[in-house]
Amino acid sequence: MLFSKILLAYDGSKASNQALERAIELAKVTPGSSLYVVHAFEFPRFFIGEALAPLPASVNKDYYDLAVQTTDEVKSRLEAEGLNSTVELLQGSPAEVILTYAKEQGADVIVIGSRGLGGIREFVLGSVSHNVVQSARIPVLVVK
């Protein structure tokens, strides 16, 4: 099956780098295909009881800077491959951002790593890849 609009969910993790390799392969087998890469990030939130604890602006800046660095790395990698690609840095809940972006771009397939950088958060809230698989209306390739 050939896909002309491929969406890669990328967070810089080992699994997302493996997903990047598969997305590149998919894009190369279909002449004229487009590879869309989205890196979704959220600023951290800390709760004390029922209250939201304020964070220093420097913490949010560090998260944002890391997100920019992650997108810059994948842009460089894709430029070296010579593919027709677009890389987006978007803020919000990763699964929601990925699904909304896929719909907006008319993606044919979503490529995503099986585990991201979520750690315990992934265990408690359910993984991004699981949420994307459950909610997507297009094929999802989960790469391990």
pLDDT tens across 78-122, in order?
999 999 999 999 999 999 999 999 999 999 999 999 876 555 444
What confidence score (pLDDT) does residue 126 get? 43
Question: Are the CB atoms for 12 and 70 separated by under 8 Å?
Answer: yes
Domain ranges of the chain: 55-89
pLDDT tens across 6-58, in order?
999 999 999 999 999 999 999 999 989 999 999 999 887 776 777 777 778 88
Q: Which residue has the higher pLDDT, 135 or 56?
A: 135
Using CA atoms, how far residue 30 sits from 49, 74, 91, in Å, is: 52, 20, 30
What confidence score (pLDDT) does residue 50 get? 74
Residue 77 is encoded by which pair of tokens?
Answer: 């990698």
